[in-house]
Chains A and B, each alone.
Chain A
Amino acid sequence: MAELFCVGLSHKSAPIEVREKVAVPEEDQAGLLQKVAALPGVSEAMLLSTCNRVELFAAVAGHESAEAVAAQLREKGGDAVRPHLLQHQGEAAVVHLFRVAASLDSMVVGEPQILGQVKDAFSSSVAAGTVGGELTRACEAAFAAAKRVRTETGIGANAVSMASAAVELARKIFGDLSGRTVLVVGVGPMSEICARHLGSEGAHVRVANRTLERAQALVKELGGKAEARPFTDVAKLLTEADVVVTSTASPKPIFNVELVQPALKARKGRPLFLVDLAVPRDVDPAVHQLSNVFAYNVDDLERVVKENLAARSSEAARAEVLIAEEVARFIRSKTARDAVPILGQLRRRADSIAISEAEKTLAVLGEGLSLRQRQSVEAMAKAIVNKLLHAPTARLRTAGEAGPEEAARVAAAAAELFGLADEGPADDGGAPEAAPIPITRAEGQK
């Protein structure tokens, strides 16, 4: 019975020098996947390769085939990689997949990109033709679990970079930022990131700088509705701006009470949010005391980020509980499915008896029967089989859902009563209840 296996390394187990050794370039991925899926005992394979992790997921028949999969990565990376490789098999591999997709294993816990990366990995494995029922079910369950984590916990709720913290604060003050005006004073790398973030929220960006050329250069990069203004206009621009991002090299504060107070009057009390990225500061701390003015400096933003990270880790604990629930549910349904092969055997045995007995009867009755009469005989044989198998089939299904021990117990009883024990190991290909195998898999085997 195939089970999930995972081997690989991540930012947790290996430094970047090691990770880059096993990184698989995109054009080689399909080849690697097909090679892995062709290994004996291996039926499916998927590769997750991001800047923080390289992980190979596979559906394997047992320990030996798992080792064969692991050997693929070991071979690729050489000796340096060996001590960093982590392996998970069975339930542990499912847990790992679910945690990765839910961003619980990420460098920044709760970052939203990883789910998309796992989805991409899944669809390129589908394209490579190396995905079957096991991985499809596991990935779909992992995506659903990740979505649940995102909606039911606050794991991705808070900003964990200074720029996104600034955007988050701006949203808490103004709500929707589209149509708001952002004034960027002084061009620098941090103010550029902030401007970009705010601009992508739909705000109008204006850039004022001592040298107008640099302001114009930033405006060009930002594109869209951004405009450059001379530095001397700052007092006037202040009356129109909702958010001010400032990062000048000025040794003394530019935005003091004398400058901001009159602007507030002209603003008719609209709130003003000042993001001060400069050291020494551009905004006089007294400005924050004015009503409807909120001034944040680098330290404030840093603290917001730290608090958010702490909040994330407590939300992560809640997410782990959800993941454990989802994994348990997935394992239960897998166990139920795994109990199904005995049903397949039972069904095949019964069908072959029905067919052979019907043939015997038809041979005795001879050629005198009409087509319709022959069909009736066959139908009767099938109907008897179906009626007879109905109760044991239902019982085996409920046993499968009840758990592995119960499933094994009832399956063993069925095997003994129906004399199936000598038929050899189940191959779920012929079982009517076996999981549907996507067409892509069949293509991949060609």
Chain B
Amino acid sequence: MTRSLLSAACHAYSVAGVAYLVHLVRLRGRSSTVGALALAAGLLLHATVIVMRYQEMVVTPVSSLADGLSFTAWLLVAAFLILDRVYKLPALGAFVTPLALTVTVSALLVPSSPPGEIPALLGIPGLVAHVIVAFLGMALFALAGGAAVLYLVQERQVKGKRFGFAFSRLPSLEVLDELNRRLVVFGFAMLSVTIATGALYAKNRWGAYWSWDPKETLSLLAWAIFGALIAARFQGGWRGKRVALLTMLGLVVLVSSWVGLFAFPSGHHSGSFDAPARAVGERRG
């Protein structure tokens, strides 16, 4: 049931993606509206899936890798739709929608835990906030990365005095820069909360705030990059291209810290999704 609903959401996302691409190529106002409507429809279906999974699992909406991916994609789409309402950014939709679709499809492909089997680590209250905030931060940074890409494309055209296909389709440099600023600031706040709650939880559970597992290290690096970026913007007057490039660097580090979640066999986070009992057993627990 949830699988077919989720696949229906994927279809809605595909329709939205095609509509946004058509908008980008042919500049049709109507197709961006179609895109937003399809995306909203997908978002509703997707939300139903998440709620149903939550009820099945009794714990959090993100207690398996599949659920985590699905939840991230949902947050990404939701955040984009809000941004699009405020800033009118159909061009960003052409980037965000395929991304959300890819993540949702991977969620469909990854085997999800059977209902009722509660991953031990996530079964503990308090960690729910940590995980949800982490996903939200990820979605915000993904959007910031999208805005940074658009900025770089647009800046290249204005600076190079060569106006290609994307010139009239993209928002102005200032709008993109401002968007980047807000997304990075909010994302940074989420990341800070994630790290802080994570550390508190680790102290509670394992007796140490920090254990330098690969995920922690990379997350901290990403946090430092975004922190420096914000400081440079507000103190040093950094703007535009440099900021966009740094955002993308930070995003790459952040994403690799997430890959680390599944790739590195040791560390607190390794067991979060797939082998909770083992992870707890091996560590100090």
- Hey, which bits of chain A sit against chain B, CB under 8 A? 151-154, 157-158, 169, 171-175, 265, 267-271, 288, 291-292, 294, 296, 300, 303-304, 307
B239 to chain A: which residues have CB within 8 Å? Answer: 268-271, 292
Verify if B171 is at the interface (C-beta below 8 Å from A). yes
Starting from the known contacts A153-B27, A174-B174, A175-B174, 14 additional A-B residue pairs (CB-CB under 8 Å) come to A152-B29, A171-B172, A173-B172, A175-B172, A175-B173, A268-B237, A269-B239, A271-B174, A271-B240, A288-B159, A294-B158, A296-B161, A303-B161, A304-B161
CB distance from A404 to the nearest CB of B (A): 32
Is B28's CB under 8 angstroms from A173's CB? no
Among B29, B158, B161, B242, the most chain A Cβ lie within 10 Å of the Cβ of B161
Is A158's CB under 8 angstroms from B168's CB? yes
CB distance from A296 to the nearest CB of B (A): 7
Chain B residue with Cβ nearest A265: B237
Tell me the B230-252 residues at the A interface (CB within 8 Å): 236-242
Chain A residue with Cβ nearest B240: A292
Docked Cα-Cα span, A25 to B149, in Å, equals 56
Verify if B167 is at the interface (C-beta below 8 Å from A). yes
Is A173's CB under 8 angstroms from B173's CB? yes
Number of chain B residues close to chain A: CB under 8 A: 23
Of A152, A154, A296, the residue contacting B168 (CB under 8 A) is A154
Is B29's CB under 8 angstroms from A271's CB? no
Verify if B264 is at the interface (C-beta below 8 Å from A). no
Is B172's CB under 8 angstroms from A269's CB? no
Verify if B154 is at the interface (C-beta below 8 Å from A). yes
Docked Cα-Cα span, A418 to B174, in Å, equals 74
- Hey, which bits of chain B sit against chain A, CB under 8 A? 26-29, 154, 158-159, 161, 163, 167-168, 171-175, 236-242
A169 to chain B: which residues have CB within 8 Å? Answer: 158
Is A172's CB under 8 angstroms from B158's CB? yes
CB distance from A207 to the nearest CB of B (A): 24
Among A172, A175, A300, A303, the most chain B Cβ lie within 10 Å of the Cβ of A172
Docked Cα-Cα span, A288 to B241, in Å, equals 14
Docked Cα-Cα span, A300 to B174, in Å, equals 22
Docked Cα-Cα span, A367 to B163, in Å, equals 89
A152 to chain B: which residues have CB within 8 Å? Answer: 26-29
Is A172's CB under 8 angstroms from B161's CB? no
B28 to chain A: which residues have CB within 8 Å? Answer: 151-152
Docked Cα-Cα span, A270 to B26, in Å, equals 32
A307 to chain B: which residues have CB within 8 Å? Answer: 163
Docked Cα-Cα span, A294 to B156, in Å, equals 11
Of B29, B168, B175, the residue contacting A175 (CB under 8 A) is B175
Docked Cα-Cα span, A304 to B161, in Å, equals 8
A296 to chain B: which residues have CB within 8 Å? Answer: 161
B240 to chain A: which residues have CB within 8 Å? Answer: 269, 271, 291-292
A294 to chain B: which residues have CB within 8 Å? Answer: 158-159
B29 to chain A: which residues have CB within 8 Å? Answer: 151-152
Known: A172-B158, A173-B172. A267 touches B237 (CB 8 A): yes
Chain A residue with Cβ nearest B242: A291
A271 to chain B: which residues have CB within 8 Å? Answer: 173-174, 239-240
B241 to chain A: which residues have CB within 8 Å? Answer: 291-292
B175 to chain A: which residues have CB within 8 Å? Answer: 175
Is B172's CB under 8 angstroms from A172's CB? yes
Is A175's CB under 8 angstroms from B171's CB? yes
Docked Cα-Cα span, A172 to B168, in Å, equals 8
